[in-house]
Amino acid sequence: MDLNLQRAQTAAARRGPRPHIKVVGWQFVLQLAILAFASAVAARAEGTDKNSVPKQEVQAKLTYCENCHGVSAQGFHGYYPIPRLAGQQPEYLKNQVQAFVERRRTNNIMFNVSHVLSPGMLSALAESFHDLNPKPLASAAPNELLAAGKKIYEEGLPDRDVPPCASCHGAEAKGDGQFPRLAGQLPDYIFNKLKNWDKERGQDPAKPDASTIMQPITHNLTDQQIKAVAAYLNHQD
């Protein structure tokens, strides 16, 4: 055998099979790539989770909301009544924020506030508001008005095709899912909303929500009946 060929074969034998080393190297690189990809996906998922919103940012936004909605989101009597958000159903809150964004509910201030909220921040705020439970802002109302409001809330007005409010909002007026809590709400806010329902709700018939149920009901209630129901609800907590 040629001496040079023999030396080459001996050196190759000492180095070991190159193809095997090459395959192992690519397997290692592939494993690293898979791990890196999995880590990136996990980080992205964590970033979109509502719990990933820093508590300091959520608290700062809650404090900002109190400028209009009052201490502990109990509502505020200003130039016009600003609603209580404390204890509100999270699903309802998120639906209404989306309605402001899509202009299905008209309020320029709330549009400016709503359209910049991330899904994570919105979920965190909705849960935070739901957990608040301050006493309602009291308002004076004669006993006869409260009694009339209670009767309408619990029994409805069959002769005017008005169902019991409790059938959707619950016996304690605390709402459920997409149906809002009304207990403790400012009475003048309820009155203003029911009187102006068509001007502020249902702006896009192609995207109706649960609020469309209220449209015929608001038309069948007199001003005095609305005031009675609003007074009764304000005294619930």
Strand partners, 162: 157
pLDDT of residue 103 exceeding 50:
yes
- pLDDT band of residue 167 (cuts 50, 70, 90) is very high
pLDDT of residue 35 exceeding 60:
no
pLDDT of residue 29: 44
- pLDDT band of residue 46 (cuts 50, 70, 90) is very low
Rounded distance, CA 81 to CA 95, Å? 21
pLDDT of residue 141: 80
pLDDT of residue 169: 96
CB 228 within 8 A of CB 127: no
CB 137 within 8 A of CB 84: yes
What's at 221, amino acid-wise?
Answer: L
What's at 129, amino acid-wise?
Answer: F
- Grouping H, G, I as helix, E, B as strand and the rest as coil, residue 137 is coil
Q: How many CB atoms lie within 10 A of CB 83?
A: 21
pLDDT of residue 22 exceeding 50:
no
Residue (of 131, 122, 125) closest to 101 by Cα position? 122
HSE-CB at 118 with a 13 A cutoff on CA atoms is 14
pLDDT of residue 139 exceeding 60:
yes
Set out the domains of the chain in order of their start, with CATH numbers.
Answer: 52-234 (1.10.760.10)
pLDDT of residue 64: 95
CB 215 within 8 A of CB 198: yes
Write down the pTM of the prediction: 0.75
